[in-house]
Amino acid sequence: MNRLESVLEELAHDAPRPTPHPELWDRGRRLRRRDRVVRGGLVLVMVLLVGGLASFVTARPALVAPAGDVAPDGAIPSRIEDPGSDLEPETDLATGGASVAFVSTSGTAVVIGATDGRYHALDLPGFSADDPGVVALSPDGYHLAWSTQERVDSVDLRTGEVVGLVPHGGHGADVTELAWTYDSARITYQGTFDGQAVAGSIEPTGPSEVEIPVERTLATGLSSPTRGIVALPTGSDRTFARFERVARPAEQAQKDLRSDEGVPLRRQLPPDLYPGGASTRPLGWATGSLVVAQADGPSGSYVEGQHLVLFTSPDRPESEWTFRILVRDLPDATPVSIAVDLVPDLDGTSSQQLTHDFASHDAGLPAGVRWGGTALAALGVLLAAYLLRRREQRRPGRLTA
C-alpha cells in the first residue's frame, strides 16, 4: 500500500458511524410500486399514441356517419366524396333509401344512405367496373337504375328486387344517359344503336317501354312536375341555364310525344358567381319550380369545379328567383344523381340548411389539422419513449461527468 492509500485509510476513520434508517426497505418498495405504475402508464400512452398515430395518418376520412347521427327523413349530404376502391362491393342491394348515386373512379356504383350518410358500393348485376355504365337515382331515392351492355335495370333499394329490360324495343342500345321522371315512375334513356341515336322511356315495374323521338326535348331534358317546363343541359361557359316550355301540360306531353312545339327559355346564372359562365346539367325538380343541377364553374368562378346548385325555373317571376349552392367539390370523375325529393322546401331565408353534414366530426378534417395532429402525436410518442429511457438510465451504472 502506498502512502496515498494509507492517508486515505486514515482519513476514512473520520467517517461517521452508519445509522441506516429502519424504513429503508419499505421506502424502497414503495418506490418500486410507483415505478411499476408509471412504467405501465407510459407504455399505455405509447401504445395509444402509436395506434392513434397510425390510424390518424393512414385512415381515409370515414365514409360512415358517426353512431347516432341520422336524418330521420333523409337528406342530401353536405359533402360527397369519391371512395375510390376503399369500399367492398355489397351484393345485398337492399341498402335502404339513398340520397346520392354515382360511379366511383374505380368503376363501382356507389350510393349514399339518405338517413345515415353511409356509403355503399353496390355489386350491380352486369355492371362492370372495367366498362362501367351509367347510374340514376330516382327522385324519391328508393330506386336505382343502371345501364349495362344493351340493358337497363333498376333495383328497389328497400327490397333489393331487380327488374329491367333490353331497351329500344328489345334490340338493345348503348345507353349513355339515364334519368328518372319527377314522380320516380319512369326512366328515360338516351343512347345509340348501330350508330343511330335512340331514346326511350321505361316503366321499370312493368317493365315496358315507350320510345321517344330523339329530336324531342323530352329525350334530353327533365320535365317539371306541373308547369310544362323542361330543364335542359348546357355546354361550357354559358351564362344561362336552358329550359323549354312545352306546348302541352307535362302529363299530356309524356303521353303524346309527337308535339314538337317548344319555347326556349333562359335562366340567367348569377354573374357574380360565374363571371365567365358555367355549364349546367339538370338532375331533377325539387319542386314544380326549383331545379337541382350539377354545375361546372370554370377557373375564375366564385365556385370552381363540379358542384350542386338549386335555382328557380325561368317561368317564375323574377322576385321569386333564387340561386343556392347545395354541395361543393363534387367528385370530378362522374356526374352524380340526386334524390331531389330530399331537398327541403325553401323557407325564404338564406341561412336555411338544405343539406345535412353527416360526418362533421369524423371525416374531412383539413389536411393541416391532420398533419399537425400527427406531428403532435409523434412528439408525444418520442417524449414517452424518452421518459422511459431516462427512468432506465437513472439506474446506477451510467455516470457522466
Partner 1 sequence: MRGSNDRDRVAFDEFVAARSGALLRSAWLLTGDHHLAEDLVQHALMQVARHWERISTSPEAYARRTMHHQHISLWRKRRFTETSWGSHDAAQPATDPDLRLSVTEALARLTPKQRAVLVLRFFEDLTEAQSAAVLGVSVGTVKSSTRQALSRLRVLAPDLADLVGVES
- Is 9 a residue that touches partner 1 (CB under 8 A)? yes
Q: Which residue has the cell 303521353?
A: 255
Q: Which is nearer to partner 1, 300 or 396 (CB)?
A: 396
* Segment 339 to 398, residues that bind partner 1, using CB under 8 A: 395-398
Q: In whole angstroms, how close is the CB of 36 to partner 1 at the nearest point?
A: 11
- Is 5 a residue that touches partner 1 (CB under 8 A)? yes
**250 residue type, one letter:** A
- Is 263 a residue that touches partner 1 (CB under 8 A)? no
Q: Which is nearer to partner 1, 4 or 367 (CB)?
A: 4
Site track 22-61 with partner 1 (rule: CB under 8 A), x = hit: --xx-xxx-xx--x--------------------------
Options 10, 131, 272, 347; binder of partner 1; rule CB under 8 A = 10
- Is 258 a residue that touches partner 1 (CB under 8 A)? no
Strand intervals (E) in 95-254 = 98-103, 109-113, 119-122, 135-137, 143-148, 151-156, 162-165, 174-180, 187-193, 196-203, 208-211, 222-223, 229-232, 240-246
Cα–Cα distance for residue pair 49/59, rounded to 1 Å: 15
- Is 399 a residue that touches partner 1 (CB under 8 A)? yes
Q: In whole angstroms, how close is the CB of 43 to partner 1 at the nearest point?
A: 17
Q: In whole angstroms, how close is the CB of 389 to partner 1 at the nearest point?
A: 15
Options 2, 299, 350, 351; binder of partner 1; rule CB under 8 A = 2
The region of 17-25, 108-116, 144-152, 351-359 touching partner 1 under the rule CB under 8 A is 17-25
The region of 4-12, 175-183, 318-326, 343-351 touching partner 1 under the rule CB under 8 A is 4-12
Cα–Cα distance for residue pair 399/393, rounded to 1 Å: 9
Provide φ and ψ at 93, rounded to 5°. -85, -5
Give me the helix-helix angle, 24-58 and 367-393, nearest 10°. Answer: 160
DSSP state, 269?
Answer: P
Cα–Cα distance for residue pair 239/268, rounded to 1 Å: 6
- The answer to whether 98 and 110 are in contact (CB under 8 A) is no
Residue 136 C-beta-side C-alpha neighbours within 13 Å: 29
- Is 12 a residue that touches partner 1 (CB under 8 A)? yes
Number of H helices and E strands in the chain, helices first, is 5, 20
Q: Which is nearer to partner 1, 11 or 67 (CB)?
A: 11
Residues that bind partner 1 (CB under 8 A): 2-5, 7-12, 14-21, 24-25, 27-29, 31-32, 35, 395-401
